[in-house]
Amino acid sequence: RPQQLSTFALTLYKHRARVDGQTVLVDFWDTAGQERFQSMHASYYHKAHACIMVFDVQRKVTYKNLNSWYKELREFRPEIPCIVVANKIDADMKVTQKSFNFARKFSLPFYFVSAADGTNVVKHSPSHRLFNDAIKLAVAYKQNSGDFMDEVMRELE
């Protein structure tokens, strides 16, 4: 059973994953709704190789805010892969029958999840692809990126 903890400010989760037979170290940054303050500090985007944008199906404003969040993301990281997630489907499974056009508009992968009960999130879930897909997209981006800032940072390391 997943833990139901609220995030405060920023929480960093470290994870080891296997991608194409290789172990990769992944840092997940949970921004805890920092975007509520209209924008996030540029440091949140630094060295990001993928983004998972989550909205709450019970709070329409979070879906409406996807446009501004996505615009800001693209200002700082124009090429990184992005995934859109509809959270809290446990409250009303009928929501999975709705059409959410934002992801389609930008050709982004889209997932329905429940952080509360682990649906489509945790490993034992029948379709826990969300984090696996995000990791694979991030690794592929990092390996094939022509991102100028990534190249500068590699040279400085």
- Consecutive 10-residue averages of pLDDT for the chain (157 residues): 50 81 84 60 78 92 92 91 94 88 96 86 64 88 72 63
Buried b (16+ CB within 10 A) or exposed e, 113-146: bbbebbbbbbeebeebebbebbbbbbbebbeeee
Output the pLDDT for position 2: 45
Output the pLDDT for position 152: 64
SS3 at position 103 = helix
Cα distances from 52 to residues 113, 136, 138, 156, 157, in angstroms, run: 12, 13, 11, 27, 26
The tokens describing 74, both together, are: 């693209």
Q: What is the β-pairing status of strands 51-56 and 22-30?
A: unpaired
Output the pLDDT for position 22: 87
Q: Write the CATH number of the domain with boundaries 11-142.
A: 3.40.50.300
Output the pLDDT for position 1: 44
pTM of the model: 0.79
Buried b (16+ CB within 10 A) or exposed e, 76-108: ebeebbbbbbbbbbeeeeeeeeeebebbeeeeb
Tally Cβ neighbours within 10 Å of residue 66.
20
Residue type, 3: Q
Element (H, E) at 24: strand 22-30
Q: What are the sequence ranges of the domains in the chain?
A: 11-142
Output the pLDDT for position 3: 47
Q: What is the β-pairing status of strands 11-19 and 22-30?
A: antiparallel
